[in-house]
């Protein structure tokens, strides 16, 4: 395991942090929801030293890359009423944070007074989840965002809730958007923001084939899996695609690799970084160019891949590149809108990788399942193969790495 990762984990305490994207109807990311759990279920320990730790959180969990540029997005941070009333509200930048008030029974005059005071000071609040309960109505004037659980109501109920909220001029967020059908339904109902796992649920088109550029990448992957392959034999395939040649050279010199040396040729680059790394990037090229897909899906795939690899390294598992491949390809069906088995039949990969993706078996499948639980904040379902801090550190490093890669892939 990397000594730096181990030191970070030991310094981070036992809090778990992850994030979930929040989209607009164009499927562009507008914000991130911060998922967290500490030992006692209260505000994360990171908030205890507000100045330093606010910077840590915002620089890791509220930052994304797009079009080769880095931008900071608003971060939804959950609060209970007791946290708000006990003056535990962290001193985070008001333009970067929306405090998400968890729905609790018993809305007191004291709570409303504190919300009015904080709103007057510039704080923004979100209500989760609005059900139309009369007790919640006094909160609507104080909210910036109102979340409604899409799975909890039928269409008629949702229409009534949306109509009721309109006069309050709040941003309506459809929560638990689990499929493309849910997403289209929420758009039709007039929601402004959307949160859920709908990006990971493909519209299956069985029998779909790759285009000519994808065939070249498949040829490259096949050669990389050949034990007799050399840097020169791989180069002979890569040079047939100028765009691929350019991107490999660009990536090797990017922050993702931290190799500031001058690269003279593809074979030189391959010799420097090794066949396993080239295999990793070849898989990325297979996934790139899906212009109809949101950048966030590629980001989620990269984060998952890198976290799988890092956890495998921490556990001293062999061939960690294969854990990366499992994580990356586990959402290939969402990227390509094609049945997963059909896709994997077209890719020359080790059977253990395919079995891990399709059936979640073996060490690779176990790590993939563990990372998926972490991404979704399903902390109680995790196997806990490592001590808790190592997960958060691996996730945070994966966020940063994924953004570096995306910036490199998106640069002209």
CATH number at residue 87: 3.20.20.450
Same domain, 325 and 300: yes
Say which CATH number the domain at 397 has.
Answer: 1.10.3210.10
Same domain, 264 and 403: yes
The span from the CA of 189 to the CA of 174, in Å, is 10
Same domain, 30 and 176: yes
Of residues 359 and 249, more confidently modeled: 359
Please write the tens of the pLDDT for every residue from 216-244. Answer: 777 787 788 788 888 888 888 887 776 67
The span from the CA of 55 to the CA of 64, in Å, is 15
Task: Tell me how many domains the chain contains.
Answer: 2
Same domain, 224 and 359: yes
User: In the structure, what pLDDT confidence band is assigned to residue 255 with cuts at 50, 70 and 90?
Assistant: low
The span from the CA of 231 to the CA of 146, in Å, is 55
Q: What angle do CA 170, 171, 175 make, to 5 degrees?
A: 125
Q: How far apart are the first and last CA of the chain?
A: 35
Mean pLDDT of 281-300: 75
Same domain, 242 and 101: no
The span from the CA of 164 to the CA of 161, in Å, is 5
177, 200, 223 - which closes a domain: 200
Same domain, 191 and 140: yes
Same domain, 278 and 379: yes
Of residues 118 and 213, more confidently modeled: 118
SS3 of 49, please?
A: coil
The span from the CA of 53 to the CA of 47, in Å, is 6
Q: Is the pLDDT of residue 99 over 80?
A: yes
Mean pLDDT of 70-89: 83
Q: Is the pLDDT of residue 52 over 60?
A: no
The span from the CA of 328 to the CA of 73, in Å, is 24
């Amino acid at each position: 395991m990397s000594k730096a990762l181990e030191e970070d984990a030991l310094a981070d305490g036992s809090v778990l942090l992850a994030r979930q994207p929040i989209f607009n109807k164009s499927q562009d990311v507008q914000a991130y929801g911060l998922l967290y759990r500490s030992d006692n279920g209260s505000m994360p320990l990171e908030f205890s030293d507000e100045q330093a730790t606010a910077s840590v959180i915002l620089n890791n969990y509220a930052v994304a890359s797009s079009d080769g540029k880095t931008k900071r997005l608003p971060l939804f941070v959950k609060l209970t009423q007791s946290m708000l009333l006990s003056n535990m509200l962290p001193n985070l930048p008001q333009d970067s944070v929306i405090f998400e008030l968890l729905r609790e029974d018993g809305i007191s005059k004291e709570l409303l007074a504190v919300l009015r005071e904080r709103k007057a000071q510039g704080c923004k609040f979100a209500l989760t989840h609005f059900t139309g309960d009369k007790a919640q109505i006094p909160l609507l004037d104080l909210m910036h965002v109102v979340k409604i659980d899409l799975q909890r109501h039928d269409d008629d109920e949702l229409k009534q809730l949306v109509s009721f909220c309109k006069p309050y001029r709040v941003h309506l967020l459809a929560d638990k958007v689990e499929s493309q059908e849910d997403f289209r339904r929420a758009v039709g109902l007039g929601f402004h923001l959307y949160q859920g796992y709908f990006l990971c649920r493909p519209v299956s088109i069985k029998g779909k084939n790759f285009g000519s550029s994808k065939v070249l990448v498949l040829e490259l992957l096949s050669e990389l899996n050949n034990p007799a392959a050399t840097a020169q034999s791989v180069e002979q395939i890569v040079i047939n695609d100028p765009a691929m040649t350019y991107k490999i050279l660009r990536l090797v010199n990017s922050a993702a690799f931290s190799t500031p040396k001058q690269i003279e040729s593809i074979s030189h680059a391959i010799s420097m970084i090794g066949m396993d790394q080239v295999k990793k990037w070849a898989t990325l090229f297979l996934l790139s160019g899906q212009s109809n897909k949101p950048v966030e899906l590629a980001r989620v795939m990269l984060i998952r891949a890198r976290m799988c690899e890092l956890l495998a390294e921490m556990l001293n598992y062999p061939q960690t590149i294969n854990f990366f491949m499992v994580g990356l390809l586990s959402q290939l069906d969402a990227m390509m809108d094609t049945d997963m088995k059909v896709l994997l039949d077209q890719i020359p990969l080790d059977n253990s990788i395919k079995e891990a993706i399709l059936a979640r078996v073996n060490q690779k499948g176990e790590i993939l399942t563990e990372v998926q639980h972490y991404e979704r904040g399903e902390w109680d379902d995790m196997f806990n193969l490592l001590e808790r801090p190592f997960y958060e550190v691996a996730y945070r490093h994966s966020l940063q790495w994924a953004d570096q890669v995306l910036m490199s892939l998106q640069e002209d």
